[in-house]
Structure 1
Amino acid sequence: MSDERKSFASDPEKQASPTRDIDVESLPTTNGLALEDKPVDPTSFFGRSLALSARLERALGIEARGIQRVPDDPSVRTDVPSANFFIWLAANCVLPTFGIGILGPSIFFLGLGDSMLVIFFTNVFTAYMATFGPKLGLRQMTSARYSWGWHGARIVALLNCIACVGWSTINSIAGAQTLVAVSENTISDAVGVVIIAIVTLILGMAGYKYVHIYEKWSWIPTAITFFILLGCAAKHLVNVPMETGQAEASNVLSFMGVCFGFAVGWVSLASDYNVYQPATTPAWKTFAWTYTGLIFPLVLIQWLGAAIMCVAGGAAPSNADWTAAYDANELGGLLHAVLVPVVGNFGKFCMVLLVLSVVANNIINVYSMGLSISVLGVWIAKIPRLVWPIVITAIYIPIAIAGANSFSTSLEDFMNVLGYWLSIFVVVVLLEHFVFRHGSFDFDKTPIGIAALVAFLFGALGTAMGMAQVWYIGKIGALVGGDANPFGGDIGFELAGAFAGIVYLPARWLEIKYIGR
């Protein structure tokens, strides 16, 4: 170990209060995994790009910082814990959340009561991952190195990048369908996707501060619009009784997978949005504000979606106009059928507000992908953060245009796949933190990552055995459905987490015993 590394490792003050912003890739550590702290040549392409980013940051207030550790400096860490509430309230008080709710009756033919129960209990999940942000000053995929290892973190960061593209695609499809319905089919899905993408790109490039400002206020008109939607739909709402039997059980489990995928999708980027809060912020405050911001919109808006869809589709549709509108233009058509006949052109204005709500969700993905992709390699981390929102936008626009006519199917497939890998990710991170680090944020050594990789492979095996998708039904997933439901019941995320956890504990113990970290 070099003298510089020894000095850093033995001096807590240097670790807690770095005097300059350095990339986590070059942060000296006690295990020798990090690279040497070499400055970027100011005359190189990377050097000139970083200098330009810095000038933009100073001139416009745009954030240029990438995955560098945020210094534990009171003048920098100025955010308050309540910011966690607004960021997640706005990100989930959106049209795609409503879209998740409609899947219970439309795809899985559930009644109102069983849809609402699944939504409630599945969304009651921990927001603990968000507590890592203030304590470490690191983004979520960067702090993942302390459980997944250097190279394992690259795997989950890549998966998170793919997830961010998927989220942006699904959200844009929902918004585009709604814009098409508002315009009475005078604009195409492609135009709707591009409009949403451009607005999202501007905010995503602006960075952390502007994302927080937008999210702090954007949820208000959206929440009001959902109340108006409830008022317009109220007299038509009916209770569709629960079914019983093995087919009902398998459909409940499959819908749970969809809801879980949506809710747990935030854990891979939760701490990206509170790294500017003081390191002394109590963990319980971070958890409480995050959990509250998530649970209210997730449950209430998904309930609204399920209630309206019970009337328009599913096992016992009772409103032919709503059913026809949904069949013709899916989510956008359904909203148009509920709002416009009651409140006229004001209903179209409400639909436009719901379209704009998509931006509140998409900017989270666009911003976080730029951080996650920087974990993949040293040279990538040197590319200014401002570049990546443009890259992700260029990727998801054509994908969203291509899939604009299949919102429900695309959403179901994507949510399940998202839940599979995130179940493994969460289990590994939390087991490492509580079992092997005993809940301490004193991350002094990063593991090799062998145990995490083994857990990932066994978790993937559990996924394959428990999943029930159109394109593949696992052996256990098929058993859940039985003869009553040939499509099976999806328990992929449950088995993924269980298999990963069972294997990770002994594998990590062996890794520590024989490798030392």
Structure 2
Amino acid sequence: MQATGKAGTGGPRVERRSIDFVPENERHGSPGQQFTLWFGANMQITAIVDGALAVLFGADALWAIIGLLIGNLLGGAVMALHAAQGPKLGLPQMISSRAQFGIFGAVIPLVLVVVMYLGFAATGTVLSGQAVSLILHTGTPAVGMIVFGVLTIVVATLGYKYIHMLGRIATVVGILGFTYLGIRLLTSQDVGALLGAGSFEFPTFLLAISLGAGWQLTYGPYVADYSRYLPSKTPARKTFMSAYFGTVIGSQWSMTLGALFAALALPKGARFLDGQVAFLGNLSGGGLIAVVIYLVIVTGKLTVNTLNAYGGYMTMLTSVTAFTRKSAVASWTRFAYVIGFIGLSVLIAVLASPDFIANFKNFVLLLLMVFIPWSSINLVDYYLVSKEKVDIPALYDLNGRYGRWNKTALLSYAIGIVVQIPFLAQTLYTGPMTELLGGADISWLVGLVVTAIVFYPLAKRNSNAPAEMVYPTEPDPAESDSGAIAPLAGSASNTAAV
């Protein structure tokens, strides 16, 4: 984010920061931008599909909506706690996890997070490709997927400011488009009958909660990436509340529509399963207004897909630099990483699209098993053990206080994964506890709580957290306009606030 004078005061520029610390003179923005980013990122068709899954897999529409709300509220709180770390640390989310796992140890969950980003980028590309193809009348979704992939590369390469700008656009577009779809639904269908049909079933209610919570929790590995440029004195409460309400309101709005659309498309959701994008186009009334709805779909998906690409780039770079011992990279590196990431996600999308709905449900629930323990460890350490104090230069130093491996975190992480297995409800495996619960998958809740219980006392006993925040001695570790790789300067004795 290169700018003359104080960064952020001029117009949008191509971002040059990567995994390095953002100095105070480059901080800008307000917590309100977190609301529009996460609201816009959730006003999109994949969230609609997520809400629809609760009904398609057996829940009554009313109880599905209530379950999704509970899941969004619970998962959104965890997600927003990660967001609140950004302004104080000035770092991407996954770099900060080196404080818990060690510089090499953090690579283990990082690899799994990259897979998560790829999966969401691919599933989003399936739906966006359908919308682009319908707009351009290409006749094949593959062409639309490629066009959408190119758009994602452009925005993700430009970086932070453009991503937030797109979030604001998606917020306005999403409100207009989804409000119109809601009005169409209310005026053309008996929504009361949709909500009144069926009855309460505990297993499917728990599934709805899991779908809502899982949706929010998977934002955790990159949510702080988009709050790290806020001024360091930004109150954590304001960052938390802005991200929380943005993500909860946006996702619940979309998922509620999804649950109603799926109930409308019953029995067995055949009409919805045949083509989610076309279903919304037909509901809108067809013709020109359908094209507008397709554009709304593309805008919302472009926002979140850009988050996936940008987050994927950051995560891959964090993994690589653990071994290269660098803290900043050339600007062109983002372009290369993003092209490779999006190219692979488009390929996956083309191959996976025929079984999209089933794959998406299993993918979301399976990812929680490997991601939840990481989130639990990161939050427990930051808020309860280290008490929001981090030695930032040591995150790039193999011989620093965090070292190469943290056995306590890695052991807790492994236990957090294993303990979830009996509670899994997957296509290839259903745990014995899941059968006792009637098929409900609560593995995410078990993993979150058990990991925290195991990790906290061990980490508290072996804590090496600094007494105060330790910031880099050099406020700008990558001054070279050439974008050459630069090491991070720092001192463990420097505890002055930026």
TM range (shorter): 0.7 to 0.9
- Correspondence for 1:278: 231
- Correspondence for 1:332: 277
Please, what is the CA RMSD of the aligned residues?
2.4
- Correspondence for 1:414: 363
The 1:324–1:411 alpha-carbon spacing in structure 2 relative to 1, beyond 3 Å, is closer
Q: Which of 59-68 and 126-135 deviates more? A: 59-68
Which residue of 371, 376, 383 corresponds with 2:319? 376
Gaps of 5+ in 2: 2-9, 395-400, 465-498
Which residue of 67, 71, 87 corresponds with 2:37? 87
Instruction: Tell me whether 1:268 sits opposite 2:221 in the alignment.
Output: yes
The 1:423–1:242 alpha-carbon spacing in structure 2 relative to 1, beyond 3 Å, is farther
Which residue of 97, 110, 116 corresponds with 2:47? 97
- Correspondence for 2:493: none
CA distance in 2, matches of 1:360, 1:249: 35
- Correspondence for 1:456: 413
Which residue of 300, 305, 329 corresponds with 1:357? 300
In the TM superposition, what are the counterparts of 1:364-513 in structure 2 within 5 Å? 364-378=307-321, 379=324, 382=329, 384-440=333-389, 445-446=401-402, 448-481=405-438, 488-509=439-460, 511-512=462-463
Which residue of 137, 141, 151 corresponds with 1:189? 141
Q: Which of 374-383 and 97-106 deviates more? A: 374-383
Give aligned-pair identity as a percent: 22
Contact 1:176–1:404 (CA under 8 A) maintained in structure 2: no
- Correspondence for 1:130: 83
Length-normalised TM-score, structure 1: 0.79
- Correspondence for 1:239: 195
CA distance in 1, matches of 2:33, 2:12: 22
- Based on CA coordinates, which of the two structures has the bigger radius of gyration? 1
Contact 2:87–2:231 (CA under 8 A) maintained in structure 1: yes
CA distance in 1, matches of 2:242, 2:15: 24
Contact 2:91–2:224 (CA under 8 A) maintained in structure 1: yes
1:475 CA displacement: 1.8
Which residue of 146, 160, 172 corresponds with 1:220? 172
Post-superposition Cα deviations, 1:448-499, rounded to whole Å, max 9, x if no partner, equal: 4211111111111122111001111112112212xxxxxx221111122233
Instruction: Tell me whether 1:78 sits opposite 2:31 in the alignment.
Output: no
Instruction: Tell me whether 1:171 sits opposite 2:124 in the alignment.
Output: yes
- Correspondence for 1:40: none
Contact 1:204–1:389 (CA under 8 A) maintained in structure 2: yes
Amino acid at match of 1:113: L
1:334 CA displacement: 1.9
The 1:147–1:314 alpha-carbon spacing in structure 2 relative to 1, beyond 3 Å, is farther
Which residue of 64, 78, 81 corresponds with 2:16? 64
Length-normalised TM-score, structure 2: 0.82
1:365 CA displacement: 0.8
- Correspondence for 1:319: none
Amino acid at match of 2:50: I
Post-superposition Cα deviations, 1:254-294, rounded to whole Å, max 9, x if no partner, equal: 23222222111111111101221111111111111111211
Q: Which of 298-307 and 402-411 deviates more? A: 402-411
Contact 1:428–1:500 (CA under 8 A) maintained in structure 2: yes
CA distance in 1, matches of 2:11, 2:88: 30
Contact 2:204–2:440 (CA under 8 A) maintained in structure 1: yes
CA distance in 2, matches of 1:189, 1:471: 29
Contact 2:71–2:211 (CA under 8 A) maintained in structure 1: no
CA distance in 2, matches of 1:346, 1:505: 54
Which residue of 138, 153, 156 corresponds with 2:109? 156
1:240 CA displacement: 4.1
CA distance in 2, matches of 1:173, 1:431: 36
The 1:472–1:278 alpha-carbon spacing in structure 2 relative to 1, beyond 3 Å, is same
Contact 2:31–2:239 (CA under 8 A) maintained in structure 1: yes
Contact 2:420–2:446 (CA under 8 A) maintained in structure 1: yes
1:183 CA displacement: 6.6
Amino acid at match of 1:403: A
Amino acid at match of 1:229: L
1:512 CA displacement: 4.1
CA distance in 1, matches of 2:29, 2:349: 35
CA distance in 2, matches of 1:465, 1:502: 18
Any idea what SS the aligned residue of 2:102 has?
Answer: helix
- Correspondence for 1:311: 264
The 1:182–1:471 alpha-carbon spacing in structure 2 relative to 1, beyond 3 Å, is farther
Matched residue pairs, number? 434
CA distance in 2, matches of 1:256, 1:145: 31
CA distance in 2, matches of 1:59, 1:183: 32
The 1:405–1:217 alpha-carbon spacing in structure 2 relative to 1, beyond 3 Å, is same
Post-superposition Cα deviations, 1:387-432, rounded to whole Å, max 9, x if no partner, equal: 2111111110110011122221122112112222232122111211
Amino acid at match of 1:311: L
The 1:434–1:397 alpha-carbon spacing in structure 2 relative to 1, beyond 3 Å, is same
Amino acid at match of 2:349: A
